[in-house]
Chain A
Amino acid sequence: MIMPLIKGLQITISHMFKKPVTLQYPTERPDVKPGFRGLHTLNVSHDKAKCVACYLCPTVCPAKCITVEAGEDQNHDKYAAKYEIDMLRCIFCGYCVEACPVDAIRMTEQFELANYSRADFTYTKERLLEKK
Chain B
Amino acid sequence: MVNLTIDGKQVAVEKDATIYDAAKACGIKIPILCHDKKLHPFGGCRMCLVEVEQMKGRLIPSCTTPVTEGMIVQTTTDEIVKARKLVLELLLLKHPIDCPVCDAAGDCDLQNLTYEYKVNMNRFVDEKFNHEIDYENPLIERDMNRCIHCGKCARICDEIVSYGAYTFINRGIEAKMGTEFDGPLNCEFCGSCVSVCPVGALNSRPFKFKARWWALQKTKSVCSYCGTGCQLTLGSKDGKVLTTIYDENQGFHNGQLCTRGRFGYQFVNSEKRLTAPLIRKNGKLQEATWEEALAEVTSRLSAGKSDPASVAALATPRLTNEELFLFEKLFRGTVGTDNIDHSAGYAHEALTKGAKASFGVTASPAEIADVQKSNLLLVVKSDAYETHPVIGFEINLGVKRKGIALRIVSDKKGKLTRLPGAKTTVHAPGSEIALFNALCKSVIDQGLAAEGVAGLDALKAAVADATAEKAGVTAEEIAAIAKDFASAEKALIILPIGQGYPGHNAALANAAANLAILTGQVGKEGAGLLIMSEKNNSQGAVDMGIYPKGTGLNAQAIIDGCANGNVKTLFVAGENPVVSYPNRAKVEKALENVEFMVVSELFLTETAAMADVVLPACSFAEKSGTFTSLGRRVQNVRKAIPAVGLAKSDFDILNALSQALGGARYNNQGEVFTEIAANVPAYKGLTQAGLKDEGAVYPVTLAAKLVPAAAKASAPAAGKLALVTGSALYHCGTMSRFGEGPMYVCPDAYAELNVADAAALKVAEGDQVTVTSGTGAVQVAAKVGKRVPQGVVFSPYHFGEGSVNTITDGSEVTYVTVAKK
Contact = CB atoms under 8 A, between A and B. Distances in A.
A77 B101 CA distance: 8
B101 A59 contact: no
B135 A76 contact: yes
B820 interface: no
Nearest to A78: B101
B215 interface: yes
Interface stretch (A27-35, A48-56, A108-116): A48-56
A71 B209 contact: yes
B100 A70 contact: no
Nearest to A81: B209
B133 to A, nearest CB: 7
Interface of A: 52-56, 58-59, 70-72, 76-78, 101-102
Contacts of B212: 54-55, 59
B209 A53 contact: yes
Contacts of B209: 53, 70-72, 78
Nearest to A58: B215
Contact of B133 (A52, A56, A58, A76): A76
A53 B101 CA distance: 7
**Residue among B100, B133, B208, B211 with the most chain A CB within 10 A?**
B100
Interface in B182-224: 208-212, 214-215
B745 to A, nearest CB: 21
A54 B100 contact: yes
Interface string B96-137: 000111000100000000000000000000000000010100
Interface in B712-755: none
B208 A72 contact: yes
A59 B214 CA distance: 9
A71 B211 CA distance: 10
A41 B76 CA distance: 46
A52 B214 contact: no
B135 A52 contact: no
A71 B210 CA distance: 8
A72 B135 CA distance: 11
A72 B101 CA distance: 11
**Residue among A55, A59, A101 with the most chain B CB within 10 A?**
A55
A77 B100 CA distance: 11
Given A76-B133, A78-B209, A52 B215 contact: no
B215 A55 contact: yes
A56 B100 CA distance: 8
6 contacts: A54-B99, A54-B101, A55-B215, A59-B212, A76-B135, A102-B100
Nearest to B135: A76
Contacts of B215: 55, 58-59
Nearest to B97: A101
Interface string B209-253: 111101100000000000000000000000000000000000000
B241 to A, nearest CB: 17
A89 B546 CA distance: 54
A77 B99 CA distance: 13
A70 B210 CA distance: 7
A128 B711 CA distance: 76
Contact of A101 (B100, B208, B211): B100
B372 to A, nearest CB: 42
Contact of A52 (B100, B208, B210, B211): B100
Nearest to A76: B135
A14 B211 CA distance: 62
Nearest to A70: B209
Contacts of A77: 101
A71 B101 CA distance: 11
B362 to A, nearest CB: 49
A33 B210 CA distance: 39
Contacts of A102: 100
Nearest to B100: A54
Contacts of A55: 211-212, 215
Given A55-B211, A77-B101, 20 more contacts: A52-B100, A52-B101, A53-B209, A54-B99, A54-B100, A54-B101, A54-B105, A54-B212, A55-B215, A56-B100, A59-B212, A59-B215, A70-B209, A70-B210, A71-B209, A72-B209, A76-B135, A78-B101, A101-B99, A101-B100
